[in-house]
Structure 1
């Protein structure tokens, strides 16, 4: 009798604790930039050779749709290296 009462009490406590917890927050879809960053992080964890890593990283970064060069404020995009003639960069 004592054992069944303890099991019943444990079961009721776990059910009530489960009902009292907040539901999981709504999952939002990842943005394109977040998806790209997650792919690059996963690529760095794969343990590929240097050549394979560079090849796959180049394929991932080519997919980005960021403009190359100057933005509207006249600042250079630092993600791409562009050599200017007559200027050290």
Structure 2
């Protein structure tokens, strides 16, 4: 009778110990899209100036650097070639 009791307790203890273990996270390499998203999230948290942020973002995305310039009024003019109706350019 003692052997049956000891065997049952060991079986219950091993089942409970197996259930208590957390499964390990799946270890797999990040895809290129996931890596790019993580890099963009980290970039947005760095507190860079607008120009630095745009430059680093263009590097990460592999896009050509857009030229941003200021006009004579001290206002930013990101779309220089845009013709607005009713306004002379």
TM-score range, shorter chain: 0.3 to 0.5
Higher-Rg member (1/2): 2
- Normalised to the residue count of structure 2, the TM-score between the two structures is 0.46
- Normalised to the residue count of structure 1, the TM-score between the two structures is 0.46
